[in-house]
Amino acid sequence: MKPALQSRLHELYFGGSGAALRFQSWMLLLDVALIAFFIVAPFIERDTAFFILDYAIAAILAIDLGLRAFAFGDVRRWLRRPIVWADFAVLASLVAPVFAANLGFLRIMRIYSLVQGENLWRVVASGRWVDTNVQDTARAAANLVIFVFVAASLVHAGFAGRANHINSYLDSLYFTVTTLSTTGYGDVVLPGPWGKVLSIIIMIGGVSLFIRLVQVTMRGAKVRFPCPQCGLLRHDPDAIHCKACGARIRIPHDND
C-alpha cells in the first residue's frame, strides 16, 4: 500500500478529482510561462540575472521531477516514458550554463512533454479533446515547432559567425524557416559539407512534419468508441464495422 503522502501526490499529479484538476491547471500555467521564457531566451543577454533565473527554473523543475517520480511509484517504468526524457533534457540545458550555446535548444523540448503528456488534455476542455483530431493536430503542430527551434539552434551553434549573414539567433531561425519551407532565398548559405548535410536534414525533416500536420488537420473527424472485440478506440462516425478486426459495432448518436 502506498504511503499517504505518495497517494496524495499521485492523485494530484495523475488524478481526475476537482482538487487534482486545479493543481494540474496551475502546473500547466507554469509550463506555459516556462515555454514562453525558453522561446525568448535566445534573444536575451546572458548576464548574471539570466543565469540566476536559469538556476531557479532548474531547481523548480528538479523538484517537480522528483515529486512526479515519487508520486508515480514505479520509478523504472516512469523513467521509460519519453516525456520524462524530454524533461531531463530540459533540466540538463538549465544546469549546464557553460554549454548553453550547445544545449540551449533542448529547452524547447518542454513543449513536447506538455503536449504529449496527459495533464494538458485532462484539464483543457474538461477532457473532451482526448483522442480527437484536436489532440492529434496540436501534437503534430508541436512536433513541427520543436523541429524548427532545434534546427535553428543547431544552425546557430555550428555556424554563427562562420556563415555569411548568420550573426544572431534570429538569423539562424530565418535560415531554418526559409530552408524548411523550400523558399530558399539564397541570401544565407551554410558553408562546407556539414552545412549542406544540415540543410538537407532541415528540408526533408521539416517538409515531412509539415505534410504530417496538413494530413492530420484535413483528416475526417473520428468518434471515441471502444470496439468490444479488439478495443480499437477511434472510428468513423458512420462506421458499422471495426476497421481493425471487422467486428460489428454500433456507435450511439445524439438522436438515438
In angstroms, the Cα distances linking 159 to 20, 21, 162, 222, 236 are 46, 45, 5, 45, 48
* Residue 73 DSSP one-character state: S
| Cα(188)–Cα(159) distance, integer angstroms | 11
Note the pLDDT of residue 26. 92
Nearest to 104 by CA among 114, 119, 89, 116: 89
> Looking at beta carbons, which pairs linking 187-192 to residues 24 or more positions away fall under 8 Å?
188/163, 188/164, 189/163, 189/164, 190/155, 190/159, 190/163, 191/159, 191/162, 191/163
Alpha helix positions (H), 128-254: 133-159, 169-180, 192-218
HSE-up (13 A, CA, CB side) for residue 208: 8
The answer to whether 105 touches 157, Cβ cutoff 8 Å, is: yes
Q: By three-state DSSP, how is residue 58 classified?
A: helix
Give the tens place of pLDDT for each residue, 72-121: 888 889 888 888 888 888 888 887 755 444 556 678 888 888 888 888 88
Residues of the chain falling short of pLDDT 70? 1-2, 97-105, 220-221, 253-256
Note the pLDDT of residue 1. 47
**Which pTM value belongs to this model?**
0.72
At residue 224, what are phi and psi to the nearest 5 degrees?
-90, 110
